Protein backbone atom coordinates (compact mmCIF):
# COMPACT_ATOMS: atom_id res chain seq x y z
CA UNK A 1 0.00 0.00 0.00
CA UNK A 2 3.04 2.24 -0.35
CA UNK A 3 2.58 3.10 -3.98
CA UNK A 4 0.39 5.91 -2.67
CA UNK A 5 1.60 8.48 -0.17
CA UNK A 6 -0.53 9.21 2.84
CA UNK A 7 -1.90 12.47 1.37
CA UNK A 8 -2.83 10.67 -1.84
CA UNK A 9 -4.59 7.99 0.20
CA UNK A 10 -6.56 10.63 2.06
CA UNK A 11 -7.58 12.24 -1.23
CA UNK A 12 -8.92 8.85 -2.34
CA UNK A 13 -10.69 8.12 0.93
CA UNK A 14 -12.23 11.60 1.00
CA UNK A 15 -13.61 11.21 -2.54
CA UNK A 16 -15.20 7.86 -1.69
CA UNK A 17 -16.70 9.12 1.58
CA UNK A 18 -18.08 12.22 -0.14
CA UNK A 19 -19.67 10.08 -2.83
CA UNK A 20 -21.35 7.83 -0.24
CA UNK A 21 -22.62 10.84 1.70
CA UNK A 22 -23.80 12.38 -1.56
CA UNK A 23 -25.88 9.26 -2.26
CA UNK A 24 -27.54 9.67 1.13
CA UNK A 25 -27.99 13.41 0.50
CA UNK A 26 -29.72 12.70 -2.82
CA UNK A 27 -32.13 10.32 -1.02
CA UNK A 28 -32.97 12.99 1.55
CA UNK A 29 -33.30 15.63 -1.19
CA UNK A 30 -35.92 13.47 -2.89
CA UNK A 31 -37.74 12.69 0.35
CA UNK A 32 -37.94 16.38 1.32
CA UNK A 33 -39.48 17.12 -2.06
CA UNK A 34 -41.64 14.01 -2.17
CA UNK A 35 -40.10 13.25 -5.58
CA UNK A 36 -39.36 9.51 -5.68
CA UNK A 37 -37.35 9.83 -8.92
CA UNK A 38 -34.34 10.99 -6.92
CA UNK A 39 -34.04 7.49 -5.43
CA UNK A 40 -33.10 6.28 -8.90
CA UNK A 41 -30.31 8.84 -9.05
CA UNK A 42 -29.00 7.71 -5.66
CA UNK A 43 -29.11 4.09 -6.85
CA UNK A 44 -27.44 5.07 -10.12
CA UNK A 45 -24.52 6.43 -8.11
CA UNK A 46 -23.79 2.93 -6.75
CA UNK A 47 -21.79 1.50 -9.70
CA UNK A 48 -19.35 4.42 -9.47
CA UNK A 49 -18.86 3.57 -5.80
CA UNK A 50 -18.11 -0.04 -6.71
CA UNK A 51 -15.75 1.27 -9.39
CA UNK A 52 -13.94 3.38 -6.81
CA UNK A 53 -13.62 0.42 -4.46
CA UNK A 54 -12.02 -1.61 -7.25
CA UNK A 55 -9.54 1.18 -7.94
CA UNK A 56 -8.68 1.55 -4.26
CA UNK A 57 -8.18 -2.23 -3.94
CA UNK A 58 -5.78 -2.10 -6.87
CA UNK A 59 -3.91 0.78 -5.19
CA UNK A 60 -3.89 -1.14 -1.90
CA UNK A 61 -1.84 -3.87 -3.58
CA UNK A 62 0.52 -1.29 -5.18
CA UNK A 63 -1.04 -1.28 -8.63
CA UNK A 64 0.27 -4.69 -9.77
CA UNK A 65 -0.04 -5.88 -13.36
CA UNK A 66 -1.35 -9.18 -11.93
CA UNK A 67 -4.46 -7.33 -10.76
CA UNK A 68 -4.95 -5.57 -14.11
CA UNK A 69 -8.38 -7.22 -14.17
CA UNK A 70 -9.43 -4.82 -11.43
CA UNK A 71 -8.71 -1.88 -13.72
CA UNK A 72 -10.87 -3.42 -16.44
CA UNK A 73 -13.58 -4.07 -13.85
CA UNK A 74 -13.30 -0.43 -12.78
CA UNK A 75 -13.67 0.73 -16.37
CA UNK A 76 -16.72 -1.51 -16.85
CA UNK A 77 -18.46 -0.31 -13.71
CA UNK A 78 -17.66 3.29 -14.66
CA UNK A 79 -19.39 2.77 -18.01
CA UNK A 80 -22.33 1.03 -16.35
CA UNK A 81 -22.57 3.77 -13.72
CA UNK A 82 -22.60 6.55 -16.28
CA UNK A 83 -25.36 4.82 -18.26
CA UNK A 84 -27.30 4.50 -15.01
CA UNK A 85 -26.76 8.20 -14.19
CA UNK A 86 -28.01 9.19 -17.64
CA UNK A 87 -31.10 7.01 -17.22
CA UNK A 88 -31.80 8.46 -13.78
CA UNK A 89 -31.48 12.03 -15.09
CA UNK A 90 -33.87 11.09 -17.90
CA UNK A 91 -36.55 10.19 -15.36
CA UNK A 92 -36.11 13.66 -13.84
CA UNK A 93 -36.85 15.51 -17.07
CA UNK A 94 -39.79 17.85 -16.48
CA UNK A 95 -42.01 16.43 -19.23
CA UNK A 96 -41.71 12.98 -17.66
CA UNK A 97 -42.19 13.94 -14.03
CA UNK A 98 -45.94 14.56 -14.33
CA UNK A 99 -46.83 10.90 -14.85
Partner 1 sequence: MTVLGLGALAAVDPSPLFVLSLLPYLAFLRWAAASKRFPPLALRGFQFTLVFVAVTIAAAVVAEQRFGLQLADVDPLHGGAEVFLTVANLMVLWGFSRTDSRTDNGADNLAVRGQQPADPEAQATGPGSEQVLSAGDPPAVPPQDGASVFDPP
Q: Does 67 bind partner 1 (CB under 8 A)?
A: yes
Q: Which is nearer to partner 1, 12 or 43 (CB)?
A: 12
Cβ 84 vs Cβ 23: under 8 Å: no
Total residues in contact with partner 1, by rule CB under 8 A: 48
Of the candidates 44, 14, 79, 77, the one whose C-alpha atom is nearest the C-alpha of residue 6 is 14
Q: How far is the CB of 43 from partner 1 (least distance, A)?
A: 14
Exactly one of 46, 50, 70, 98 binds partner 1 (CB under 8 A); that residue is 70
Amino acid sequence: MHALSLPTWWIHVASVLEWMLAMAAVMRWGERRAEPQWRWLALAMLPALVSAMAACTWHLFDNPIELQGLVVFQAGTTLLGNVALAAAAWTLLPERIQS
